[in-house]
Amino acid sequence: MTDTRTIRIEALRFNPETDSAPRLQRYDVPFTPDMSVLQGLQYIKDHLDGSLTFRWSCRMAVCGSCGMMINGRPHLSCETFLRDLYPGPVRVEPLDHFPVQRDLAIDQAGFLDKLAAIKPYIVSAKDKPLSEGPSRQTPAQLDAYYQYSQCINCLLCYAACPQFGLNPDFIGPAALSLLHRYNLDSRDIGWSVRADVANAEVGVWECTVVGYCSEVCPKGVDPMHAVNENKVNSALDYLGVKRLLGGR
Ligand code: SF4
Ligand code: FES
């Protein structure tokens, strides 16, 4: 027999084009133990209210598109289960600190600009013809940046960051983690091509080391560590020591 219970989901509704203020709308959702919050929202959309707006794609914590505040904390809705939130209610809201596009969907444009600014790709010292084959790395060289390469751009860390809440120009935890990921890659030129972003007023020094970004990351990335390591790089750069030490 299927174990079906009912839980109340309170969803923030807001259309900036027509509404003067956000409001909460309540839905009673039947659920089975295997249903995530995302599936609860999909039930609402399919059976109760087709106008509810939210993002999702992979349903398996890979694409990073389903992030939202769930009971006041940033989560991926596809890997948060209704059974763990029973008896509810479950409050779902858009990620903190971002402009709302509609209901639970945020405007990601500012983050995409920041992502482009850190050059999220390998910058090689020289063009290498394909005929020379792959650029091999040792396991140790891979380990140096591996955790930072796990970022799925879900933006939970930005919703957790009080500094980003105060200053939306702060380049922020995920972009700085990815900056570090490429700087640590043995195939990349490193610090010299991204120093301007890290050293900027809204770069690493804007971070006040709260650390909540690292706590909420669903992929085990430690953005606070990346930022701290780049504070050291930035200080050495300022003092002119980084180049003396042979930093890339
Ligand atoms: S660092 Fe973690 S929380 Fe931040 S965007 Fe990447 S995966 Fe999401
Ligand atoms: S739907 Fe892709 S991470 Fe949740």
pLDDT tens for 25-62 read 999 999 999 999 999 999 999 999 999 999 999 999 99
Average pLDDT over residues 148-154: 98
- What pLDDT shows up at residue 125? 83
Is the per-residue pLDDT at 245 higher than 60? no
Is the per-residue pLDDT at 84 higher than 80? yes
- What pLDDT shows up at residue 96? 98
Q: Best substitution site from 98, 177, 212 to test ligand 1's pocket, by max atoms within 8 Å of Cβ?
A: 177
Q: Which residue owns the Cα nearest ligand 1 atom 2? A: 217
Q: Which ligand is nearest to the CA of 153?
A: 1
Convert the pLDDT of each residue in 58-77 to its tens digit: 999 999 999 999 999 999 99
The runs of H, that is alpha helices, within the chain are 37-43, 109-117, 139-145, 156-160, 162-166, 173-183, 195-199, 212-216, 223-239, 241-244
Residues with Cβ < 8 Å from 19, sequence gap 6 or more? Answer: 13
Query: Max alpha carbon distance in the chain (Å)?
Result: 70
Q: Which amino acid is at 205?
A: W
Is the per-residue pLDDT at 112 higher than 70? yes
Task: Measure the N-to-C terminal CA separation of the chain; round to a whole number of Å.
Answer: 62
- What pLDDT shows up at residue 248? 62
- What pLDDT shows up at residue 62? 97
123-160 b/e (C-beta count within 10 Å ≥ 16 → b): eeeeeeeeeeeeeeeeeeeeebbebbeebbbbbbbbbb
CB 104 within 8 A of CB 22: no
Is the per-residue pLDDT at 246 higher than 80? no
Is the per-residue pLDDT at 240 higher than 90? no
Nearest-CA neighbor of 180 among 240, 120, 239? Answer: 120
Sign of the alpha-carbon dihedral angle for 96, 233, 235, 215? positive
Show contacts of 18-26: CB within 8 Å, 24+ apart: 22/100, 24/91, 25/49, 25/52, 26/89
Place of tokens 């770069």: 203
Q: Best substitution site from 41, 42, 54, 56 to test ligand 2's pocket, by max atoms within 8 Å of Cβ?
A: 56
Q: How many CB atoms lie within 10 A of CB 162?
A: 13
Average pLDDT over residues 233-243: 83
Stated as kind and residue range, the H or E segment containing 10 is: strand 5-13
Convert the pLDDT of each residue in 184-227 to its tens digit: 999 998 888 999 999 999 999 999 999 999 999 999 999 999 99
Stated as kind and residue range, the H or E segment containing 102 is: strand 100-102
Is the per-residue pLDDT at 244 higher than 70? no
> What average pLDDT does the chain have?
94
Cα 231 to Cα 93, 130, 228: the distances in Å are 33, 36, 5
Q: Which residue owns the Cα nearest ligand 1 atom 8? A: 154
Question: Cα dihedral angle (135, 140, 144, 150), rounded to 10 degrees?
Answer: 80
Percent of the chain exceeding pLDDT 90 equals 88
Determine the Cα–Cα distance for residues 81 and 68; give it in Å rounded to an integer. 14
Bridge partners, residue 91, by sequence = 10
- What pLDDT shows up at residue 243? 57
**What ligand 1 atom has the least distance to the C-alpha of 156?**
3
